[in-house]
Structure 1
Amino acid sequence: MSIHYQKKSVRMEGVVGVEEAEGLLDWLQNHPGSKINLGSCTHLHAANLQVLMALRPTISVWPSDASLKLWLQAALPAC
């Protein structure tokens, strides 16, 4: 599993695939105000991006991969 759920945050690591989008949506809906750590994320499936775009959680750490970071910051401004 590449998504790790904590009390008030989510940490995404490596490749976050489509199969994780529904769980992410459910968790974020039940934990408003949570933060997302993408520091170790290397690929984010578009389904997960759509969840983040819809629910607008705070991104506490952006990916270390420069191109992924740029792409996500463009899609998720002011998160």
Structure 2
Amino acid sequence: MSVRLDGPVIRLEGACRVEDAEPLLSFLQEEPGRVVDLSAAGGLHAAVVQVLLALRPPLAGPPGDPFTERWLAPLLAGPPPG
């Protein structure tokens, strides 16, 4: 599993697959103040991206994956669309 809870930080590590979306969602819903660390994450499955975009948790530092840093991080930092 690529999703690990480390105190108030949810760490995504390596390639995050579809089965990682559910534990990520659970961790974020259990305690809304949790922070997500993408520094060790590789590619993110669309389901994981959808959870991040829906709940927009704060990020702990820059993502390690160049694609995620360029395209996803700005979306998470900005206001929700709508």
TM-score, scaled to structure 1: 0.87
Where in structure 2 are the equivalents of 1:46-57 lying within 5 Å? 46-57=46-57
What is the CA–CA distance in structure 1 between the aligned matches of 2:23 and 2:50, rounded to whole Å? 13
Q: 1:59 corresponds to which residue? A: 59
Where does the alignment leave 5 or more consecutive residues of structure 1 unmatched?
A: none
Distance in 2 between the 1:65 and 1:26 partners? 24
Instruction: Give every structure 1 segment of 4 or more consecutive aligned residues whose post-TM-superposition deviation is greater than 3 Å.
Output: none
1:40 corresponding residue in structure 2: 40
Is the CA contact (8 Å cut-off) linking 2:15 and 2:43 kept in structure 1? yes
Q: TM-score, normalised by structure 2?
A: 0.84
Q: Tell me how many residue pairs correspond in the alignment.
A: 79
Query: Separation in 2 of the partners of 1:65 and 1:50?
Result: 17
What are the ranges of 5 or more consecutive residues in structure 2 without an aligned counterpart?
none
- Identical columns (%): 41
One-letter amino acid matched to 1:43: G
